[in-house]
């Protein structure tokens, strides 16, 4: 299996249950969902013209559509060569579940890493049983992809972006249509740190004993 890598870097996880944990991010290229507020729109399209070497990906100084095609063994080799010390690996995108992630999970877990996937829930989740799956379900997006019931059922964590009360209503309906496993963590994440969205998310979290995800990395101005 070969994966299109747009970015590979070490940082602090800024969202969800693992907020504050040192993490290695593997950002994959390609996503057809089309979320209007997406802050990684450069990962949407995958053109052969944008294929470059992994060394050039690692040298990028700004966001771009360029990506490298890399095997699981080579990804591990790059992580080790870069001297990253984090043991938590976040596979994101783009939409990582466009790809079968089981070969990559097998290699990284055998080397002692813990995996987390961040997905929109619009593709089947193919990964190891041990992977922490964060589903950030995208409802009624321009791409026209429906959130899958099997993806919601696999979620360890549901992280839902909110800006107004209708988004809470959408999440309520989604949880009725696509139930999650007992014990799944529900996080509300204010879109773009808007004060009204943050207040709404805090209020609903208090009412329902859900969890607030504040995108810590944006407040700290880090990747």
Annotated binding site: 12-14, 27, 31, 35, 37-40, 92, 94, 136-138
User: Binding-site residues for S-adenosyl-L-methionine, please?
Assistant: 37-39, 94, 136-138
pLDDT single digits (tens) 17-66: 999 999 999 999 999 999 887 889 999 999 999 999 999 999 999 999 99
Domains, the chain, ranges and CATH?
3-161 (3.20.20.70)
Q: Which regions of 33-111 does DSSP assign to beta strands (E)? A: 68-70, 88-92
Categorize the per-residue pLDDT at 222 as very low, low, confident or very high, splitting at 50, 70 and 90. Answer: low
What is the rounded CA–CA span in Å between residue 126 and residue 148? 13
What does the mean pLDDT of the chain come to? 93
**Rounded Cα–Cα distance for residues 23 and 210 (Å):** 24
Pick out the residues of the known binding site for substrate. Answer: 12-14, 27, 92
Question: In angstroms, rounded to a whole number, what is the distance separating the alpha carbons of residues 12 and 110?
Answer: 23
Separation CA 79–CA 82 (nearest Å): 5
Which pLDDT score, from 0 to 100, does residue 218 have? 58
List the binding residues for Mg(2+): 40
Give the pLDDT of residue 79.
97
With a cut of 70, say whether residue 215 has pLDDT above it: no
The structure's pTM equals: 0.93
Query: Which residue ranges are tagged as binding site for [4Fe-4S] cluster?
Result: 31, 35, 38
pLDDT digits (tens, 9 = 90+) for 121-167: 999 999 999 999 999 998 888 888 999 999 999 999 999 999 999 99
Question: What phi and psi values does residue 83 have, to the nearest 5 degrees?
Answer: 75, 20
**pLDDT tens, position by position, 165-214:** 999 999 999 999 999 999 999 999 998 767 898 999 999 999 999 999 98
Q: 33-68: b or e for each residue (b if 16 or more CB lie within 10 Å)?
A: bebeebebebbbebeeebeeebeebeeeeeeeebbb
């Amino acid at each position: 299996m070969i994966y299109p890598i747009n970015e590979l870097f070490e940082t602090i996880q800024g969202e969800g249950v693992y907020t504050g944990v040192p993490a290695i991010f593997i950002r994959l290229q390609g996503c057809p969902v089309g979320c209007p507020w997406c802050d990684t729109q450069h990962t949407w399209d995958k053109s052969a013209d944008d294929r470059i070497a992994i060394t050039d990906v690692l040298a990028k100084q700004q966001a771009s559509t360029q990506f490298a095609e890399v095997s699981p063994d080579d990804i591990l080799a790059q992580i080790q060569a870069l001297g990253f010390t984090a043991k938590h690996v976040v596979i994101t995108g783009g939409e990582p579940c466009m790809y079968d992630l089981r070969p990559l999970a097998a290699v990284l877990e055998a080397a002692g890493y813990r995996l987390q996937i961040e997905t929109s829930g619009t593709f089947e989740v193919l990964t190891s049983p041990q992977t922490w799956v964060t589903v950030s379900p995208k409802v009624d997006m321009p791409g026209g992809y429906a959130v899958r019931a099997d993806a919601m059922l696999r979620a360890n964590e549901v992280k839902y972006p909110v800006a107004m009360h209708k988004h809470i209503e959408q999440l309520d309906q989604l949880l009725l249509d696509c139930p999650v496993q007992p014990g799944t963590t529900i996080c509300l994440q204010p879109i773009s740190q808007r004060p009204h969205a943050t207040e709404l998310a805090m209020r609903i979290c208090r009412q329902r004993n859900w969890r607030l995800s504040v995108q810590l990395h944006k407040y700290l101005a880090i990747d």
